[in-house]
Chains A and B, each alone.
Chain A
């Protein structure tokens, strides 16, 4: 329910104060003549003059004014202003690129300074706050982001070619696409395999309760071991296996590469998968099962028509946790040569090329958030009997 009070919304006030500080106090962009040299930083007024920088503060001040005596309409107006500011952020960077980058020097590149990043973070927080206060659905919240994303897309196509991150992407377009493909494939296969094994293990645990303690013990143990250690520990036995068994080597199994990565990913994915499936199947209201049996449904009918549909949202929750976790772990797997977007992160860290790090890290972040949002929404939809 929307809780709109007459008191000042101190959350919005503090957020906008932080935005103002970031705007005036933190560098907006940094410009470097080429990839090697570290750039020089520019504050907002240095980019476009004090007048324009001050003009850009108006919406922030306006949101503060609206938050001082909030009502539903005023908060809705504030929401519109926040979306407007998010939309304007890429335009601002475009303006900086046009003003500061010499079009005659092709190597010149522009990095995004801490200012816009902080601003982006603060504005997103304001968006969440307003969405909650206005009681808007999560889906609408994501929908509102379409406008700023569209603006970003247009700016990237037209004016933001000197952006260092974009240049890193342009220079590695094919590598990026294949890394993305590898990443998705590893995550997909790992989640798929662990879903099948996980459901079977959960069913087995229901059948033989004695196996349950031991099973969870092993899976918990596995989950505790840090990913980098597990990847490392798998290295030795797999290397040995591939040197001893010819057909495994022919398949491409070796100490490094996709094989230990996939094995470890499946190992980590099993715990959330098994736990959620087991809890979901066990957690179905016993009176419902009792009623179903009492009506004369057979065991199979009870399972297929009652227990499974009721358990589905919780099982899906397990898939969500597993997938989000696997996206992050796959990044680590790049260390042992499994490919994926983590490659860019570790390459970038090795070369101290921060934009290359971002090229790996940002898509991973967006993938995790995206999967979380989509599977979360699907879970809501699948909840039997609708959302209460």
Chain B
């Protein structure tokens, strides 16, 4: 019995190994970038400063996560909520418009959305979060719609015929069946937003994009690489986490 349990624990450990490895690497580099000064020296032999010091990498990582996380949670709430609303009898009139808007909106380049948000909302962290939220909504709405609309008509018919209420059908049938597709939408949304948030550094939101932008402005390749590596690792950590969350199909 205990053997089986420890085997199970081992398997769970293996399951989370990839995201965990990326996370460890990310944290190690965030905290110990100074240790690599010698390596970066090769890139920039002439510069006085080799390691980006205007802000702590951990703080930058935290801000990056905060921006993406806030936008992500709001986008999930609003996006899934909107998609549910337009698939209920009361909101069905809005379904064609919302689904067309969600698929058309995804052709908008994220940078353009970010750039267009600035004239309206101004510079700083909040406008970037709003832009991330707006852009992040689209894949979530779209996938939630696809997931719910894609459920076999017979299943919904049977659920109704068995006497399930609308709420029961939503909670016990529609959402669980649509969950993998919805999760894929959230994954797309978050992945794009990690990248877009970094560009947000150009409009005054401070995060892991900062070292890159300041490196480009000052011609310091070492800064650019430091920021780029951390953003890349963050993206890989989050993406591999989502990859493991995806059900393998029961």
Do A and B touch each other in the complex, judged by CB within 8 A?
yes
Query: Residues of A with Cβ closer than 8 Å to B?
Result: 9-11, 114, 117, 125, 128-129, 132-133, 221, 224-233, 235-236, 239, 255-256, 324, 327-329, 331-332, 335-336, 342, 345-346, 348-350, 352, 354, 357-358, 360-362, 364-365, 368-369, 372
Please tell me if the beta carbons of B110 and A233 are within 8 angstroms of each other in the complex. no
Is there a chain A Cβ closer than 8 Å to B93's Cβ?
yes
Contact B116 A327 (CB under 8 A): no
A114 CB to closest chain B CB, in angstroms? 6
* Closest CB in chain A relative to B108 CB, distance in Å: 6
What A residues does B228 contact at CB under 8 A? Answer: 228-233, 235
CA separation between A358 and B216, bound complex, in Å? 23
Partner of B101 from the list A128, A224, A233, A345 (CB cut-off 8 Å) is: A128
Interface string of B87-111 (1 = CB under 8 A from A): 0000001101100110010011111
B209 beta carbon closer than 8 Å to chain A: yes
Interface residues of B in 204-247 (CB under 8 A from A): 209, 212-213, 215-216, 221, 224-225, 227-229, 231-232, 235-236, 239
8 A–B pairs (Cβ distance < 8 Å), ordered by A = A226-B198, A226-B231, A255-B221, A329-B109, A335-B216, A348-B115, A358-B116, A368-B107
A301 to chain B, nearest CB (A): 37
Q: Which residues of A contact B194 (CB under 8 A)?
A: 226
Contact A331 B232 (CB under 8 A): no
Instruction: Verify B191–A364 contact, CB threshold 8 A.
Output: no
B65 interface residue (CB < 8 Å to A): no
Q: How far is the CA of A295 from the CA of B144 in the complex (A)?
A: 45
Q: Tell me, rounded to whole Å, the shortest Cβ–Cβ distance linking B25 to chain A.
A: 14
Chain B residues near A336: list those with CB within 8 A: 216
Q: Tell me the nearest residue of chain A to B228, going by C-beta.
A: A232
Within 8 Å by CB of B109, from A129, A229, A236, A368, lies: A368
**B residues within 8 A CB of A332?**
111, 199
Docked complex: B161-196 residues within 8 A CB-CB of A: 191, 194-195
Supplied contacts A132-B96, A357-B115, A369-B107, 18 more A-B pairs, CB within 8 Å: A11-B97, A128-B101, A129-B96, A132-B100, A226-B231, A228-B228, A229-B228, A230-B232, A236-B221, A328-B112, A329-B109, A331-B111, A335-B213, A348-B115, A354-B119, A361-B116, A368-B108, A372-B104
A348 to B109, CA, bound (A): 18
Would B112 and A229 count as touching, CB distance under 8 A? Answer: no
Contact A229 B115 (CB under 8 A): no
Query: Complex formed: what's the CA distance from A44 to B232 in Å?
Result: 48
A270 to B95, CA, bound (A): 34
Most chain B C-beta atoms within 10 Å of own C-beta, residue among A125, A225, A336, A362? A225
> Which of A329, A360, A361, A365 has the most C-beta atoms of chain B within 10 angstroms of its own C-beta?
A361
Instruction: List residues of chain A with CB within 8 A of the CB of B97.
Output: 11, 125, 128-129, 132
B115 A226 Cβ-Cβ under 8 A: no
A313 to B116, CA, bound (A): 33
Q: A364 contacts which of B93, B94, B109, B231 (Cβ < 8 Å)?
A: B109
- Residues of chain A within 8 A (CB-CB) of B118 are 349, 354, 357
Give the interface SS of chain A, mostly helix, strand, loop or mixed.
helix
CB distance from A190 to the nearest CB of B (A): 14
B229 touches A229 (CB 8 A): yes
Partner of A228, one of B104, B108, B119, B231: B231
Nearest CB to that of B123 among chain A residues? A352
Cβ contact within 8 Å between A228 and B195: yes
Q: Which of A226, A352, A364, A372 contacts B112 (CB 8 A)?
A: A364
Tell me, rounded to whole Å, the shortest Cβ–Cβ distance linking A332 to chain B: 6
- B17 on the A face (CB < 8 A): no
B96 — nearest CB in chain A belongs to which residue? A132
Q: Specify which of B96, B115, B235 lies most central, judged by the most chain A CB atoms within 10 Å of its CB.
A: B115
Tell me if B43 counts as interface (CB < 8 A to partner A): yes
User: B137 → chain A, closest Cβ, in Å?
Assistant: 15
| Contacts A9-B93, A368-B112 given; does A225 touch B225 at CB 8 Å | no
Task: Report yes or no: A349 in contact with B229, Cβ–Cβ below 8 A.
Answer: no
Q: Give the docked Cα–Cα distance between A9 and B94 (Å).
A: 9
Contact with B107, one of A128, A133, A324, A350 (Cβ below 8 angstroms): A324
**Residues in B neighbouring A226, C-beta threshold 8 A:** 194-195, 198, 231-232, 235
Give A282 Cβ to nearest chain B Cβ, in Å: 19
Q: Is the CB of A229 within 8 A of B235?
A: yes
- Interface membership of B125, Cβ < 8 A: no
In the assembled complex, the CB of A121 is this many whole angstroms from the nearest CB of chain B, namely 10
Smallest CB-CB separation from B211: which chain A residue?
A232
A9 vs B202: C-alpha distance in the bound complex, in angstroms? 43
Interface centre among B119, B191, B202 (most CB of A within 10 A): B119
What residues of B have a CB within 8 angstroms of the CB of A345 in the complex? 111-112, 115
Instruction: Find out whether the CB atom of A229 lies under 8 angstroms from the CB atom of B231.
Output: yes
Report the minimal beta-carbon distance from A302 to chain B, rounded to whole angstroms: 32
Q: Which residues on the B side are within 8 Å of A132 (C-beta)?
A: 96-97, 100
Query: Is the Cβ of B213 less than 8 Å from the Cβ of A225?
Result: no
Complexed CA–CA distance, A364 and B231 (Å): 25
Q: Is B27 an interface residue (CB 8 A)?
A: no
